[in-house]
Structure 1
Amino acid sequence: MSYRFLKGHGTENDFVLLPDPDGTVHGDLSADRVRALCDRRAGIGGDGVLRAVRDGERWFMDYRNADGSLSEMCGNGIRVFARYLIDHEGVSLPLEVDTRDGIKTITSNGDDITVDMGSPEVFTTTKVSVDGVSHEALHVSMGNPHAVTFVDSLDEAGTLLEGPGYDHAVYPDGVNVEFVVRRSARHVAMRVHERGSGETRSCGTGACAVMVAAALADEAPRGTAYRIDVPGGSLEITWTEDDRILMTGPALLVAEGTTDL
């Protein structure tokens, strides 16, 4: 059976999007099919799969990592999801999208898209390791788990593609790990290993977790905007007075077609 797909990215964090309004085409989306779609040599290629399902009055973003595993939330993915709804489903902003991490409100900021990512949860410090070197990291949840560590050089992220070591008791379902360097006041850069996908060009929830860690370290007042550079571009993150994380960045659709993968 052939079916429609679109390809999009947010700061080069790329996704295969599967329209499935009534849930009949992809309701049995298997891990094997997700892996096939995300395969960069034998498939379409992507860091994950977004399935667009109509859920009553709202749309539901069913997100899967490239290895086929489920994920609670994807920050760059939800902007791509919103771009699809705007361009192909006649949806206007502001809009609410349902996710496994609850309902997210999406607005516009010029050509960019802003998402209310909800309230962060900050836990204690933990340890991560790459290439045999251990680093202290702050445990932050943005609906999915993150370990944020500040380093002197992003080279210290080493071979993130191979996967960092972490405390499985703290992160029983895996963890996204961000290595961060400071560029200037309210401006940092990061590399990230996403659980289920490896090192990616960007991670929206990871950028939010990094902003939270940086703002806490800086004792920055609420409402302060941070620029977070990722290999695929930049995101702007603000922690509001009412404890919400607002993420702003681009979202582009770059291809569409049909596939039988």
Structure 2
Amino acid sequence: MTEQQNRWGDLTGVSLTKGHGTGNDFVFVTDPDTQLDLTPELVAAVCDRHFGIGADGFIRAAKTSAINPGVEGADDQWFMDYRNADGSISEMCGNGVRAFVEYLVTEKLIDLAEGERVQIGTRAGIKTVGKTETGYAIDMGPWGFIDGDAARENGSDATVSARGLHTPRPALSITMGNPHTVVMLGSDGKLDGLGLETAPKVTPTPPEGTNVEFVVTEEIEDTIAETGETTIGAIRMRVHERGVGETLSCGTGACAAAAATRFWGGEDAPDEWLVYVPGGTLAVTFVLGPDELEHVVLAGPAEMVGKVVLV
């Protein structure tokens, strides 16, 4: 075996697929029974943009029964076994779920027509994904304040320093099943001038790390629905993902950024938001879930790009 083959380990000769959701890109592999040894070093090598395939994350399509034995219906349910580009395991990825379902459809592992839904296992719980005309919509579940009442009362619970900002900025910590820290900036110039090739510094330091979203509000015209006038909010966002770096998009980050902006906007803030990221546009909607908690629905496109076999 050559040194290069040694590098790819269990993935040597395995067919991998590259796909993305609004520029947030992933490498996919089908491994229902989790027989492949996906070490952090192997995943990081595959995701390397110069010496590997290149991606923001690595996703294994496994059966829930192989990840969490004993779960009801696990034998028939697909599980998104997600890893960041550095090989670390992450709880959730909103763009990843959409792209994962598109991968399952493309590989004929599931059938999903427009208007139909499928349940996907993740480390942040089961997510329901529906096929839309232009992509997929996911019930991401409830959002929440990581620091609870203190964050709600003060409007912020952390400060963030980043290249391009002269002073630390107040921030709000939001959970979407994974941690986020959202910073509001005053102008597009501040947003565009950030140097996110360097990880922002968050104080106090989150114990499990965090994704950091920087946002500015955008103007958008009111739309007229059948029931009358509906206001839609809009923000622009850039994000530094833990274990990855700056990415063109982050689905859970878009949800967290919309949740924080909506909270700061007060009672009159809208329930529907457009989130403009460097890789495209995502839609975020706040709805009352079956558990009587406020859920976040994330919608956007996803597509597969091509296949590769490591040699």
TM-score by length of 2: 0.79
Structure with the greater alpha carbon radius of gyration = 2
Task: Structure 1: give runs of 5+ residues left out of the alignment.
Answer: none
C-alpha distance in 2 between matches for 1:228 and 1:31: 31
Distance 1:68 1:10, change over 3 A: same
Q: CA deviation at 1:247?
A: 0.2
Question: Gaps (5+ residues) in structure 2?
Answer: 1-11, 65-74, 221-232
Q: What is the letter of the counterpart of residue 55 of structure 2?
A: G
| Match status 1:179 vs 2:200 | no
Q: Which runs of 4+ in 1 moved over 4 A?
A: 220-223
Does the 8 Å contact 1:222/1:239 carry over to 2?
Answer: no
- Percent identical pairs in the alignment equals 42
Change (3 A) 1:20 1:223: farther
Residues 154-193 of structure 1 correspond to what in structure 2 (within 5 A)?
154-157=188-191, 158-169=194-205, 171-185=206-220, 186-193=233-240
Which structure 2 residues correspond to residues 1-261 of structure 1 after superposition, within 5 A? 1-24=12-35, 26=36, 28-55=37-64, 56-88=75-107, 89-92=109-112, 93-122=116-145, 123=147, 124=151, 125=156, 126-131=158-163, 133-157=167-191, 158-169=194-205, 171-185=206-220, 186-219=233-266, 224-242=271-289, 243-260=294-311
Take 2:124 and 2:170, find their aligned partners in 1: how far apart are those partners? 27
2:69 paired residue number: none
Q: Distance in 1 between matches of 2:85 and 2:171?
A: 25
In the aligned structure 2, how far is the partner of 1:59 from the partner of 1:86? 12
Q: Secondary structure at the match of 1:73?
A: coil
CA RMSD across the alignment: 1.6
Using the TM superposition, give the Cα deviation of residue 241 of structure 1 relative to its aligned residue in structure 2, in angstroms.
2.6
Alignment: residue pair count = 257
More strand, by proportion = 1
- Calculate the TM-score normalised by the size of structure 1: 0.94
Distance in 2 separating the partners of 1:136 and 1:39 = 33
Query: Displacement of 1:217 after TM fit?
Result: 1.9
